[in-house]
């Protein structure tokens, strides 16, 4: 059985990110001949010396013209062991919101470090954002090793520097790989030019990265998404509660409590797209049938009676602000979406903002501008059943929406 | 703990069903765009599973260019009966007669179906349209959101998209605006076929290899039918071919293939070295940004 791994990459044009992705796609045969030929044609027209694999990932006309990546692009490749979804994001500070977006669903993040330059502001920023967004696995690719004669000293120095920096972040799993994306060393196959390196090639590492235990299987959280009540003769008595298991393992016969009402009952059965099953776990989409008829609607959350999230109306969240038209400041009212619930929040206070390069906290900050990250206090129009984001990504996260424009203007999480 | 890991196909299925249910729960008048092609059939199966044992709680719409393969129309009508859903047909020939659009000189109705789609969506006041597009199909699509906002002219602004985080989708729109929703965003062509095989999903028989009379035109193989008449100097050959996509019959080419079963097609796709659009769609060959331009105007 092959499973799914989502990983994020971030980087700018010259650090070899596009070349690395191009190589992973090309060597796993995810790039097709007509795509390659189209890129080759454009490269030739522009008078490039080599086929610019960055053109494969830069999908919009403006990006191709300016030679930059401005948005998240999703790329796909598969090996017999795994399917991979790459969220490919730009690396500049002005695209922090795109990096945050890409990291929000990622299991792992690839951090590229140019062996000639060592640890830069950019690699620090990417690592910080990835870990902030709950990415447990950092894979640091020390690239362009061919340009430093595959020097172990250079590699070791960067590993030491990065390890010391990473001790300030919440990294679950940190791995270093010396590579040359251009020449292919240690990307798909182990290189003979790094005899001092005894780890795996990048693709092998990604194929074997153990992410199953990252999922929260202990706290049952089931946000009700949709109530299924057939208006047909053949299933007249059916009533089920559809949703995606946010966390925990739900079994038929389990006691269950409905929030916010507090009513309890038991799970009578679990229906899936492929028939009834004895248990459900994240990220399955299922329909729960309950033993008693109680009033349950979208936005309610089903949990175990002895394991409940805290009902919070005063929220203290990390927020990444994403709106170019106006900053986030005290007094604003916004719409908020948490699991399947829409509510409103009134912003009380910007507590501090973080410099994403130095991790320094600026407590004199009064507002968050576009792409800034900080801690924000707000009051919600109804209690939200949130968990710590570090424990539970699905129930620890919210989006903020401007009701005047309906645009998504912020991402928040409980940390 | 390995017992609590979903296969990648089941993970994609779960994600798609989550998306479909979000739309049904939050939008006022959703509608599923159905072309009869394999992606829209897969999407319709996912919609069926999302609400079972209840019926799918929204109608389907087919933009009928009048240039469809007859097999696709027959399949469409049969499949609608199986699913018990209501079908809205937006007809391009009718729109030409009404003067809403004009036939293009090259005979392609690809571009003029966009105003027809937007007109029908406005008449029925649909505020969410499900499309079967996948991000792996084309590079402009690689950047499109799952919930993709359209203004009241149906236009897509690629540089001004809503950030989309976690699985917290924002479908909020004002009157006249709408969203396009792509539940298959993260599927690849191979995933689609693997799912069709795993679920034994019925498709128009054009997808499976048969002997047909074909002519070679612009490097592609076109089966001779009422829409593709051999031109002078074109040699008719008898070959085993199948279709990888279901576009207009006059512009959709076939590929040489012996694959008669889903299993054989999965094997063929796994070894394929040309994208399905590059291999078979005359309408995408216009320019590097052909798809981006059509999408901005409100294309699927």
Question: Quick one: three-class SS letters along chain A?
Answer: CCEEEEEEEEECHHHCHHHHHHHHHHHCCCCCHHHHHHHHHHHHHHCCCCCCCHHHHCCCHHHHHHCCCCCCEEEEEECCCEEEEEEEEECCHHHHHHHHHHHHCCCEEEEEEECCCCCCHHHHHHHHHHHHCCCCEEEEEEECHHHHCCCHHHHHHHHHHHHHHHCCCCCCEEEEEECECCCCECCCECCCCCCCCCCCCHHHHHHHCCCHHHCCCCCCEEECCEEECCCCCCCCCCCEEEEECCECCEECCCEEEEECCCCEEEEEEEEECCEEECEECCCCEEEEEECCCCCCCCCCEEEECCECCEEEEEEEEEEEECCCCCCEECCCEEEEEECCEEEEEEEEEEEEEECCCCCCEECCCCEECCCCEEEEEEEEEEEEEECCCCCCHHHHEEEEECCCCCCEEEEEECC
> Sorting pLDDT into bands at 50, 70 and 90, what band is B121?
very high
pLDDT band, residue A32 (cuts 50/70/90): low
Q: How confident is the model at residue A69 (pLDDT cuts 50, 70, 90)?
A: low
* Per-residue model confidence (pLDDT) at position A287: 98
Average pLDDT across chain B, whole number: 88
| pLDDT value of residue A66 | 56
Does residue B79 surpass a pLDDT of 50?
yes
Burial of A127-155, coded b for 16+ CB within 10 Å and e otherwise, reads bbbbbbbbbbbbbbbbbbbbebebeeebb
Stretch among A14-18, A318-322, A396-400, B14-18 having the lowest mean pLDDT = A14-18
Q: Which residue has the higher pLDDT, A93 or A314?
A: A314
At residue A14 the predicted structure's pLDDT band, cuts being 50, 70 and 90, is: low
Question: Mean pLDDT across the stretch A68-83?
Answer: 82
Q: With 90 as the cut, is the pLDDT of residue A108 above it?
A: yes
* B166 pLDDT tier (thresholds 50, 70, 90): very high
The answer on pLDDT for A312 being more than 50 is yes
Which of A334-343, A376-385, B154-163 is the least confident region? Answer: B154-163
Average pLDDT rounded to a whole number, residues B211-236? 89
Contact B21 A2 (CB under 8 A): no
Closest Cβ–Cβ partner in B6, B22, B278 for A225: B22
Mean per-residue pLDDT, A99-121: 92
Joined together, the tokens standing for residue A284 give: 């399955």
The pLDDT tens digits of the residues spanning A135-189 come to 999 999 999 999 999 999 999 999 999 999 999 888 889 999 999 988 889 998 8
Q: Is the pLDDT of residue B286 over 70?
A: no
Asked whether residue A300 carries a pLDDT value surpassing 90, the answer given is yes
Q: Which residue has the higher pLDDT, B85 or A123?
A: B85
Which chain A residues touch B51 with a CB distance below 8 Å? 226, 228, 242
Q: Average pLDDT, stretch A32-56? A: 70
- Whether the per-residue pLDDT at B158 is higher than 90: the answer is no
Residue A56 has a pLDDT of: 65
pLDDT of residue A89: 84
Categorize the per-residue pLDDT at B1 as very low, low, confident or very high, splitting at 50, 70 and 90.
Answer: very low
Question: Which of the four pLDDT bands, split at 50, 70 and 90, describes residue B138?
Answer: confident
> Closest to B166 (Cβ–Cβ): which among A98, A393, A401?
A393
The confidence score (pLDDT) of residue B249 equals: 86
| pLDDT tens, position by position, A199-225 | 999 999 999 999 888 899 999 999 999
So what's the ipTM on this one?
Answer: 0.92
In this predicted structure, what is the pLDDT of residue A168? 87
Check A71 against B50: CB less than 8 A apart: no
CB B165 to CB A57 under 8 A? no
Q: Is the pLDDT of residue B300 over 70?
A: no
- Residue A301's pLDDT is what? 98
Asked if the Cβ–Cβ distance from B50 to A285 is below 8 Å, we say yes
B123 compared with A39, residue with greater pLDDT: B123
Question: From the CA of A151, how many Å to the nearest CA of chain B?
Answer: 37
- Which pLDDT score is estimated for B246? 87
Q: B281 pLDDT exceeds 90?
A: no
For residue A85, the chain B residues in CB contact (below 8 A) are 186
As given in the structure block, the two tokens for residue A228 are 């299924």
The chain A residue lying nearest B292, using CA atoms, is A60
B137 touches chain A (CB under 8 A): no
Percentage of residues of chain B with pLDDT beyond 70:
90
Q: Is the pLDDT confidence value at A385 over 70?
A: yes
Question: CB distance A226–B17 less than 8 Å?
Answer: no
Task: Pick the residue from chain B with its C-alpha nearest to A230.
Answer: B54
User: How far B187 CA lies from chain A's nearest CA (Å)?
Assistant: 9
Q: Which residues of A touch B292 (CB under 8 A)?
A: 59-61
């Amino acid at each position: 059985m092959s499973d799914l791994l989502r990983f994020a990459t971030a980087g700018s044009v010259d650090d070899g990110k596009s070349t690395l992705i191009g190589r992973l796609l090309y060597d796993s045969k995810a790039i097709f001949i007509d795509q390659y030929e189209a890129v080759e044609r454009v490269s030739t027209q522009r008078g490039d010396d080599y086929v610019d694999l960055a053109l494969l990932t830069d999908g919009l006309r403006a990006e191709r013209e300016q030679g930059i990546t401005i948005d998240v692009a999703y790329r796909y490749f598969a090996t017999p062991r795994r399917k991979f979804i790459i969220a490919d994001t730009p690396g500049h500070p002005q695209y922090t919101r795109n990096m945050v977006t890409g990291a929000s669903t990622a299991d792992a993040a690839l951090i590229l470090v140019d062996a000639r330059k060592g640890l830069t502001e950019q690699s620090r920023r990417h690592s910080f954002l990835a870990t902030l967004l709950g990415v447990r696995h950092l894979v640091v690719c020390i690239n362009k090793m061919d340009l430093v004669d595959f020097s172990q000293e250079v590699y070791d120095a960067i590993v030491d520097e990065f390890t010391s920096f990473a001790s300030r972040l919440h990294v679950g799993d940190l791995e270093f790989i010396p590579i040359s994306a251009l020449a292919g060393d240690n990307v798909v196959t182990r290189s003979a030019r790094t005899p001092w390196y005894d780890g795996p090639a990048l693709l092998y590492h990604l194929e074997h990265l153990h992410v199953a235990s990252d999922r929260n299987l202990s706290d049952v959280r089931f946000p009700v998404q949709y109530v299924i009540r057939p208006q047909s003769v053949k299933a007249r008595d059916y009533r089920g509660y559809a949703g995606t298991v946010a966390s925990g393992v739900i079994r038929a016969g389990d006691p269950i409590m409905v929030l916010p009402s507090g009513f309890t009952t038991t799970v009578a059965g679990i229906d899936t797209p492929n028939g009834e099953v004895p248990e459900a776990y994240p990220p399955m989409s299922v329909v729960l049938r309950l033993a008693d008829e109680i009033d349950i609607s979208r936005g309610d959350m089903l949990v175990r009676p002895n394991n409940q999230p805290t009902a919070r109306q005063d929220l203290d969240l990390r927020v990444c602000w994403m709106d170019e038209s106006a900053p986030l400041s005290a007094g604003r009212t916004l719409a908020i979406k948490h699991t399947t619930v829409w509510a409103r929040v009134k912003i009380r206070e910007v507590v501090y903002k973080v410099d994403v390069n130095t991790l320094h906290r600026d407590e004199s900050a009064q507002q968050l501008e576009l792409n800034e990250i900080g801690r924000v206090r707000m009051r919600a129009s109804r209690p939200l059943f949130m968990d710590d984001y570090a424990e539970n990504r699905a129930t620890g996260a919210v989006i903020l929406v401007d009701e005047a424009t309906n645009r998504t203007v912020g991402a928040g999480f409980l940390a | 703990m390995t017992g609590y890991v979903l296969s990648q196909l089941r993970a994609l299925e779960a994600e798609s069903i989550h998306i479909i249910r979000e739309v049904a729960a939050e939008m006022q008048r959703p509608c599923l765009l159905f072309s009869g092609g394999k992606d829209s059939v897969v999407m319709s199966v996912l919609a069926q599973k999302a609400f079972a044992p209840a019926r799918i709680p929204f109608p389907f719409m087919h933009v009928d260019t009048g240039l469809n393969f007859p097999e696709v129309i027959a399949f469409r009508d049969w499949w609608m009966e199986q699913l018990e859903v209501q079908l809205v047909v937006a007809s391009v020939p009718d729109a030409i007669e009404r003067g809403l659009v004009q036939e293009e000189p090259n005979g392609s109705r690809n571009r003029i179906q966009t105003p027809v789609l937007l007109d029908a969506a406005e008449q029925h006041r649909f505020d969410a349209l499900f499309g079967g597009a996948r991000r792996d199909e084309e590079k402009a699509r690689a950047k499109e959101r799952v919930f993709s906002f359209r203004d009241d002219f149906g236009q897509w602004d690629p540089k001004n998209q809503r950030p989309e985080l976690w699985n917290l989708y924002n479908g909020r729109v004002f009157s006249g605006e709408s969203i396009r929703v792509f539940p298959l965003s993260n599927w690849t062509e191979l995933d689609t076929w693997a799912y069709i095989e795993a679920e034994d999903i019925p498709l128009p028989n054009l997808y499976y290899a048969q002997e047909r009379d074909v002519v070679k035109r612009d490097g592609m193989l076109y089966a001779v039918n009422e829409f593709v008449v051999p031109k002078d100097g074109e040699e008719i050959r008898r070959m085993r071919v199948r279709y990888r996509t279901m576009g207009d019959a006059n512009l959709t080419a076939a590929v040489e293939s012996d694959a008669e079963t889903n299993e054989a097609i999965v094997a063929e796709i796994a070894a394929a070295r040309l994208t399905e659009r590059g291999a078979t769609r005359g309408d995408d060959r216009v320019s590097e940004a052909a798809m981006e331009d059509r999408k901005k105007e409100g294309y699927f």
